[in-house]
Structure 1
Amino acid sequence: MLSMIGLIGGLALLIFLTMKGMNLLVAGPLCALFVAVCSGLPLFPQLAGEGEANLVGNYMSGFTSFVTSWYLMFLLGAIFGKVMEDSGAADSVSKWIVDKLGMKFAVFAIVLACAVLTYGGVSLFVVAFSVYPMAISLFKQANLPRRFIPATLAFGSVTFTMTSAGSPEIQNWIPIDYLNTSPYAGWEVSAIVALFMMIFGYWWLKRMISKAVAKGETFVSRENDPVVADKALPNPFTGLLPLVVVLILSYIFHDSLAQSALIIALLGGVITTYLLNRKYFKSFWNAVSDGTMGALIAIGNTAAVVGFGGVAKAVPAFQTAVEAMTSIPGSPLIGGAIAVSVIAGMTGSASGGQAIALPLIAPHYVEMGVNTEALHRVVAISSGALDSLPHNGYVVTTVRSICGESHQDAYWAVGALTVIVPAIGVAIAIILFSLGLGI
């Protein structure tokens, strides 16, 4: 009982401290300590038996494993975003979009850029780094409140694209190993749900921004924002081409190199930006240096939350919660959706929710004769709902490290679009599959 109180309390404390603005590098270990003490978990490896769980070992294992897997992607993604900003390429593209579509389509342009890159296989973190310079420029020109930039980036990246049929993102691929399906499983229902999330979510985003503008909110510049008023800009085509290069290279190498394809793709994007726009740089190497520092902060914040998840998974209450979630009676689709979504929320990870739940629920549900394509799609979509609570690594990185906003100002719009909208999408998917569509 105390272990469960510790697990729930630790998660609630992490969310509370995140919303209050505490540094994640402090909040993560602090909340992990709370969970460990309540569960009687040894604090140090020397106090635990060989191979047994302990606070320091499990926290640092989660922390370092994330850094090991993602450091180069974070580094090159941050550098790519900075060179796009410093060269004026992002401003050139944004100005062209505004000239062609009009200022009222500024938000749509950002959502579209994120969606194309995400569905093209570019990492969610990298998409945020890459599109942010264009987003800040568009919001500035349209005089929109910048606190909605994180929600705009997140909506285009982690809702109607990340978990849709055909998406190369890992959240769409994990179920394949457990259900023997394909990335296009349940594509008919997926298309309907994606269309709903896209239309409803965009309407909601625009409504929130319009209400804020009506109350007098405007874009507020900061000292570290790029100054472009008197600066010559590159051709919009040479500004857009680096993004196209990233998309093409990630698609070409995705099957053979998996996530490592992003290293080649982003390096290609950086080189392309330099070669095409080198005469427009204020300082290429300063941009590289700034990107490097930004990457370190971003990956540190995210790894701090992943470390908390490493401790949470080691306590007895977590296994009890998993067993309860994966044995929910009734429709397997409802049970699977709840199990994956809740576990994703506890770990702050969509892929983590799937990786923990599927080994437990997949054999049981397959034996029951559930349609595996329907289960695949429901599990994928549901993993992208509660995972986006305030402590989620992507949310923390995008809100704080990339956009420089506080959770109090920016998260409510992010939560509305990345928690509520996908949750409604899951319900629609379950209803459609239950009616026999796509089965």
Structure 2
Amino acid sequence: MLSTIGLIGALALLIWMTVKGVNILIAGPVAAAVVAATSGIAWLPPLAGAEAPDYATSYMAGFTGFFADWFLMFLLGAIFGEVMGASGAAASVAQWIIDKIGIRHAVLAVVAACAVLTYGGVSVFIVAFSVYSLAVHLFRQANLPRRFIPAALCFGSVTFTMTSAGSPEIQNLIPMQYLGTTAYAGWQVSLVVAVLMAGVGYVLLQRMVKRAVANGEHFEARPGDDVVDENRVLPHPLLCLLPLAAVLGVFMIFQYPQALGPFSSIMPEESLGKWALVVALGAGTAIAVLVGRKSKGAMPAAFSRGATGAVVAITNTCAVVGFGAVAALSPAFQQALEMVKDLPGDPLLGAAIAVTVIAGLTGSASGGQTIALPLIAPAYLGAGAEPGELHRTVAIASGALDSLPHNGYIVTTIRAICGETHQDAYGPVGVLTVLVPLAGLALALALFILF
């Protein structure tokens, strides 16, 4: 009982501290300490029994493990975003979009840019870095409140694209190894759900932005923004699209070398996996520097800002991952796993509840799947669940409660990339990344169960 109270209380405390603006590097360890104190987990290695876990080692293992896995991607992603801004490429593309589709579609342009990169395989952690500079210029031109930029970035990257059939994101690929399915499992229902989430989410986002504008909110410039010089000659917009195209194209080539057909012999035989993103971001950054060669004087500062921003962003995420690592050790968490494994009723409904709850507790869609699937997949497949339907249900379910305020991607996007506070920015983010995916999950379950 004490462990259960401690786990729920620690999660509530973490969310409360995050919303109140407590630095996540403090909030994460404090919340994890509450879990340890109420779960009988030793504080330090010398105090733990033989082979028993301890708070300090477990927290830092989660923290440093994520850092080691993703730092290069965060570094190059942050530098790429800064170079796109400093080179004038983001401003040029923003102006071109405004000229072509009209200023009233600025929000749509940001969402679409994120969606293309996400569905193209660029990690959701990096998409926000890549599109942020473009979003700032578009919102400035349209005079829209910048507190909605995180919502536009998150909506375009972690909702209707991340968990849809065919998406190369890890959240769509993890079920394959447990269910023997393909990335296109349940594509018919997935298509319907994706269209619903995209349409409903965009309408909601537009309404929230319009309501804020009607209440007198507008774009507010900040000292760190790229300086807008009316007399500055910007690079041609088509040239400025090359860095984004390079990131997507190079990533696809190194991720799926076999797709080159007769030319695949000049590429690695095997996919580079996540390391393809390092190559892609490096190529995109190099091209962005060339496109902005007339602004070469601004490049050293852009690289420096990117490096600093990357460290802040990834450590924010690591702090939440560390909390999840400690939380997973608590008896209450293990009891929760046993409970969700044996939920009665339709297997798809049980799987949806299990993955949703675990993803919420860990603040991670991929973490929720990785923990839940080894436990529930054999039982639910044995109960007659169709593997493709189970795959799609699990994928969509993982993208709902994972986006609570303490989620690493949410914290990074709101705080480190966009420079906003949870109090100002999380409301729209929560509507679009929690409520909309939950509605999509309900629709998917209805379609699978009824038809």
| TM-score, normalized by the shorter chain, greater than 0.5 | yes
**What amino acid sits opposite 2:276 in the alignment?**
A
Pairs aligned (count)? 436
2:416 maps to 401
Q: Which amino acid aligns with 1:246?
A: V
1:315 maps to: 330
Q: What secondary structure is seen at the aligned counterpart in 2 of 1:258?
A: coil
Residue 350 of structure 2 is matched in structure 1 by 335
Look up the match of 2:428.
413
- The superposition leaves residues 90-149 of structure 1 with CA deviations (integer Å, 9 ceiling, x where unpaired) of 010000000111101100000000000000000111100000000000001100000000
Distance in 2, matches of 1:393 and 1:253, equals 27
Aligned to 1:62: 62
Counterpart of 2:123?
123
Cα distance, 1:53 vs. partner?
1.1
Amino acid at match of 1:426: L
AA partner of residue 247 (structure 2): V
* Alignment partners' CA distance in 2, 1:197 and 1:85: 30
User: Residue in 2 aligned with 1:214?
Assistant: 214
Are the aligned partners of 2:89 and 2:291 in contact in 1 as well (CA < 8 Å)?
no
Query: How far apart are the structure 2 equivalents of 1:225 and 1:289?
Result: 15
**Separation (CA, whole Å) in 1 of partners of 2:120 and 2:243:** 14
Partner residue in 1 for 2:23: 23
What is the distance in 1 between the residues matched to 2:348 and 2:224? 48
Structure 1 residue matching 2:273: 3-state secondary structure: helix
416-425 or 276-285: bigger deviation:
276-285
Separation in 2 of the partners of 1:251 and 1:117? 11
Q: CA shift at 1:275, angstroms?
A: 1.8
**Contact 2:120–2:167, Cα closer than 8 Å, also in 1:** yes
Identity %: 60
Indicate the SS of the match to 2:223. Answer: coil
Please give the secondary structure, in 1, of the residue aligned with 2:52.
coil
* 3-state SS of 2:292 partner: helix
Residue 254 of structure 2 aligns to which amino acid in structure 1?
F
- Kept in 2, the 8 Å contact 1:238–1:277? The answer is no
Does residue 158 in structure 1 map to residue 126 in structure 2? no
Task: Describe the superposition over 1:186-221 as per-residue Cα deviations: whole angstroms up to 9, x where unpaired.
Answer: 000000000000000000000000111111111111
Partner residue in 1 for 2:255: 254
Structure 1 unpaired stretches of 5+: none
- 8 Å Cα contact 1:250/1:265 also seen in 2: yes
- How far apart, CA to CA, are the structure 1 residues paired with 2:144 and 2:96? 18
Deviation at 1:354, TM superposition (A): 0.3
TM-score (norm 1): 0.98
Q: Secondary structure at the match of 2:272?
A: helix
2:391 counterpart residue number: 376
Matching residue of 2:446: 431
Q: Give, in angstroms, the shift of residue 249 of structure 1.
A: 1.0
- Structure 2 stretches of 5 or more lacking a match? 257-270
* Residue in structure 1 matched with residue 39 of structure 2 by the alignment: 39
TM-superposed deviation, 1:52: 1.6
Report the equivalent of 2:260.
none
Secondary structure at 1:257's aligned position in 2?
Answer: coil
Q: CA deviation at 1:281?
A: 3.6
Spell out structure 1 runs of 4+ moving beyond 3 A: none
Once the two structures are superposed, residues 200-257 of structure 1 have per-residue CA deviations (whole angstroms, 9 ceiling, x without a partner) of 0000000000111111111111111111223221110111110000001111112411
| Letter of the structure 1 residue corresponding to residue 200 of structure 2 | F
SS at match of 2:104: helix
1:76 equivalenced with 2:91 (yes/no): no
1:344 pairs with one of 359, 370, 384: 359
TM-score normalised to the size of structure 2?
A: 0.96
Judge conservation of contact 2:87–2:291 (CA < 8 Å) in 1: no
Q: State the one-letter code of the partner of 1:151.
A: A
Q: Is the 8 A contact 1:63 1:303 kept in 2?
A: yes
**Distance in 2 (alpha carbons) for counterparts of 1:171 and 1:56:** 29
The answer to whether the 8 Å contact 2:28/2:323 transfers is yes
- The equivalent of 2:268 in structure 1 is none
What is the match of residue 259 of structure 2?
A: none
Are the counterparts in 2 of residues 88 and 228 from structure 1 also a CA contact under 8 Å?
no
